[in-house]
Structure 1
Amino acid sequence: MLTGLSAFPLTPMNEQTIDEVAFVGLIERLAAAGVDSIGVLGSTGNYAYLTRDERARITRLAVAHAGEVPVIVGISALRTREVLALAEDAEASGASAVLLAPMSYQPLSDEEVFGLYQDATARLSVPMCVYDNPGTTHFTFSDELHGRIAQLPGVASIKIPGVPVEPEAARERVERLRTLVPAGVTIGVSGDPMAAIGLNAGCDAWYSVIGGLFPETALAITRAAQAGRAEEALRLSQRLESLWALFRQHGGSLRVVATAAELSKLAESPSLPLPLKTLEGRERQALAALLEELALA
């Protein structure tokens, strides 16, 4: 299940409510495209801005409209107590797996992070993906800590934030991590600009932001890499370099992807919770032109 393309859609919302119609449309779009799994309530899903009840509602909607596609649900929160409650909600709503990042306000130590995963896995009956995202959590996993956590019962995948650009260095990085985790634990790459390199280097999955909005584009890269067509996967990714550059320019993918969803009429505007805002003015016009050029809009 935690292999191939895992597509992470936006949770469109405004200050009053979640746009359930738009969210269901995104889920059905992913299911129809044939993605390998759907990841809701990750960073692109804006989990940190939602209440427990809202998160439970999102999970139920995703499971109800995903068809046969497994749904992975983010359960990250500041306190272990809240993580356990969110895990219970996700399981009760039919989640196939959960995704957990070491979310924090106070900096966490390695032992505190290990304790978080130990406590969570002890209560779970579905697989867990370890969510390594230093850009939002400001916690950096060592490979050794990943290895310790991967020994816990129920840990099924590790979502790493990226790989080196140089292919051989990327392969060495993935192979080193693989020596430290059990054979059944998959390694997935995130950071969309690095996805083709990571898949070619031996990653089992791509946890994809762009896949949550334009699944066919992400599937083409994923399937090429899975079939051993490394050069094709790289070429398809390099075609999107202008989009990847916008991700870097705007501090990550969220604002760009939310704006693209609005421009593509897949979400109403506004689609982000304040104080977050989508692109405006010339930046918005430039993205609209780019989406048309790439035949994504």
Structure 2
Amino acid sequence: MFRGLSAFPPTPTDAEGTVQAEALSRLIDRLATAAVDSIGLLGSTGGYAFLSREERRRAVEIAREAVDGRTPLIVGVGALRTDAAVALARDAKQAGADGLLLAPVSYTPLNDEEVYRHFLAVAGATDLPLVIYNNPGTTKFTFSPDLISRLSDLPTVAAVKMPLPAGGDFAGEIADLRQRTPPGFSIGYSGDWGAAHALLAGADAFYSVVAGLLPKPALALTRAARAGNADEAARLDAAFEPLWTLFKQFGSFRVMYAIAAELDLFHAAPPRPVLPIPDEALPRVAAAIEALEG
């Protein structure tokens, strides 16, 4: 479940935050048909923080029916309160999740002990394997190697989803984490424009935003890099460059809504207060997609 390409789709909703069941089902079927290695439902790209508990559970139920056992379903259960995250973890298991993804969402800045106890409670709420979501750009909390090591000793904590290293030393960071974590513990990365480098350096997984809507080119990049084919990985990564530029300029969350509309997968605005990308940028989105699919 925590190897290869994990695709993170948006969660189409109406203006009131109600999940659009037919649209979400189509997205999940598209990913399972493409044979991604797992689907990351209700990650940051899936806008989990904008959804009620009821809609989050309903999204899992919709996805579970659509995936029909073809691909493991990893579900984000982040929440401000520990008791809320525990409830979401139990909901996800009951609704059919295969694994969990947990970010330490906060308003008050958290310290290591608070995050450890938060994970201890959520990891103990079900028997599902859990991924540590190290996402300091959003949560403003950075997991130290020592904290990752400590959490990896919990029975159900099976993987970590890392941000791109500031200095670009993937190999060094991966080697350090492997020394600190049990055998078989999965080390993966998000930050799509660094995926090829991470996988070539020995990362186990690519937790991908773009794969949520463009699974085939993302799979090609993943397979080339995991096979150690640096030249092919570099060629494919270069084809993605116009899209990476848009992600960096506007934020991948906003750009994914534009991609979905361009591909006629769904038509919905990002949840407010987030605004769509400017209309004048839409031709660049179309051109970036054409470069990948042409």
TM-score over 0.5 (shorter chain): yes
Cα distance in 2 for partners of 1:84, 1:34 equals 30
What secondary structure sits across from 2:217 in the alignment?
A: helix
**Cα separation, 2, equivalents of 1:165 and 1:234:** 19
Instruction: Give the corresponding residue for 1:103.
Output: 105
CA positional deviation for 1:76: 0.3
Which residue of the partner structure matches residue 289 of structure 1? 287
- Cα 1:240–1:141 change in 2 (3 A) is same
Matching of residue 90 in structure 1 with residue 92 in structure 2: yes
Q: Judge conservation of contact 2:196–2:225 (CA < 8 Å) in 1.
A: yes
Shift of 1:14: 2.4
- Counterpart for residue 31 of structure 1: 32
8 Å CA contact 1:163, 1:189 repeated in 2: no
Residue 162 of structure 1: which of 164, 182, 192 is its match?
164
- Among residues 136, 139, 164, which one is paired with 1:137 in the alignment? 139
Which residue in the other structure is 1:20 paired with?
Answer: 21
Structure-1 separation of matches of 2:230 and 2:94: 40
Partner of 2:215: 215
CA distance in 2, matches of 1:115, 1:231: 44
Q: What CA distance in whole angstroms lies between the structure 1 residues aligned with 2:293 and 2:221? A: 16
Aligned-pair CA distance for 1:177: 1.2
1:1-297 residue pairs with structure 2 within 5 A?
1-16=1-16, 17-67=18-68, 68-163=70-165, 166=168, 169-250=169-250, 252-270=251-269, 272-295=270-293
Runs of 5+ consecutive residues of structure 2 not aligned to the other structure: none
On the 8 A contact 1:3/1:204 being kept in 2, the answer is yes
What is the one-letter code of the residue matched to 1:62? A
Asked if structure 2 preserves the Cα contact closer than 8 Å seen for 1:163 and 1:197, the reply is no
Is there any run of 5+ residues in structure 1 with no aligned partner, and where? none
Contact kept? 2:217, 2:292, Cα under 8 Å: no
Separation in 1, partners of 2:237, 2:76: 27
Say how many residue pairs are matched. 292
Q: Is the 8 A contact 2:240 2:288 kept in 1?
A: no
Q: Determine if contact 1:165/1:197 at 8 Å carries over to the other structure.
A: no
Task: Name the SS for the 1:218 alignment partner.
Answer: helix
CA distance in 2, matches of 1:246, 1:293: 14
Q: TM-score scaled by structure 1?
A: 0.95
The answer to whether the 8 Å contact 1:170/1:197 transfers is yes
Equivalent pair of 2:40/2:75 in contact (CA under 8 Å): yes
After TM superposition, give the deviation of residue 229 of structure 1 in Å: 1.2
Cα offset, 1:277, TM superposition: 2.0
8 Å CA contact 2:100–2:131 kept in 1: the answer is: yes
**How far did 1:132 drift?**
0.6
CA deviation vs aligned residue, 1:116-144 (integer Å, no higher than 9, x gap) = 11111122211000001111101011111
- 8 Å Cα contact 1:132/1:159 also seen in 2: yes
Give per-residue Cα distances to partners, 1:164-215, cap 9 Å, x unaligned: 575xx22111111111111121001110001110001111001111111100
Distance in 2, Cα, partners of 1:130 & 1:289: 35
Residues 165 and 290 of structure 1: CA distance in aligned 2, closer, same or farther (over 3 Å): farther
Taking the aligned partners of 1:194 and 1:27, their CA distance within structure 2 comes to: 25
Q: How far apart, in 1, do the equivalents of 2:66 and 2:167 lie?
A: 37
1:95 aligns to what SS in structure 2?
coil
- Partners of 1:234 and 1:179 in 2: how far apart? 29
Deviation at 1:263, TM superposition (A): 1.2
Moved more, 96-105 or 15-24: 15-24
Looking at structure 1, the residues matched to 158 and 177 of structure 2 have their Cα atoms a distance apart, in angstroms, of 14
Contact 1:164–1:170 (Cα < 8 Å) also in 2: no
Secondary structure at the counterpart of residue 129 of structure 1: strand
Q: More deviation in 228-237 or 187-196? A: 228-237
Deviation (angstroms), 1:231: 2.4
